[in-house]
Amino acid sequence: MRQIVLDTETTGIDPNEGHRIIEIGCVEVVERQLTGRNYHVYINPEREVEAEAITVHGITNEFLADKPKFAEIANDFFEFIKGAELVIHNAAFDVGFMDAEFARLKPVRKTADHCGIVDSLAIARKKHPGQKNSLDALCKRYGVDNSNRELHGALLDAEILADVYLLLTGGQTALSLDAGAEGGGGTGGIRRLPSDRSPLTVIQASDDESEAHEEFMAMLEKQAGGTVWGKLQQGD
């Protein structure tokens, strides 16, 4: 499976009011492994960036003045995401902006017609109901380092979300608990497990061990007048 973890920054919050995308960051994940292949671009939105938006992402009108317009990067961007499953935190926001940008061009493209869409915010809300599920909150919950995230940035946020998503969906990543490991990070590090790792060995109890266990449990049952294990075996 090819997934693209994606984030955007924009001039404002509503594409229906003419707001535009100013930054796109994408991180490629194949079979739950980060490939190191990314897509990142700043975009001249052909309009002013709202002051409130600048306080969130720090991207100014002056910085964007010489950047390419969306029409100039649209094909490269589309080719990068085409056929992939997009992982986006609060997907409706980013997809709404992407569709608005594609709608200005010919041929008109709709994101969902060419990509699968997974909303990591919806997954987090289902898994952690009643709790904060912002990207920062999830970083804290899963031990993902977001210390470089003073301002929102599309590529940085996509990289952070990739780690969060893999932990949130329960595979392929593990916390390193080796306090003596290089860097001395203790519980703070994340170690990705190779997909071709050997399966865990399952060791079955021998007949003698099983018999000894039964005798021991029978003794506990007699001395204690019943055990939780005994009730579970009886289906109580």
Catalytic, out of 57, 114, 152, 213: 152
In sequence order, what are the residues at sequence separation of 6 or more whose Cβ sits closer than 8 angstroms to the Cβ of residue 70?
A: 20, 21, 43, 45, 101, 104, 105
Does residue 174 carry a pLDDT above 50?
A: no
The residue ranking higher by pLDDT, 153 or 85, is 85
Identify the band that residue 212 occupies on the pLDDT scale cut at 50, 70 and 90: confident
Confidence of residue 44 (pLDDT cuts 50, 70, 90): very high
pLDDT number for residue 179: 35
3-state secondary structure of 25: strand
In the annotation, is 152 catalytic? yes
What is the Cα gyration radius of the chain?
Answer: 25
| pLDDT value at residue 221 | 73
State the average pLDDT for the chain: 85
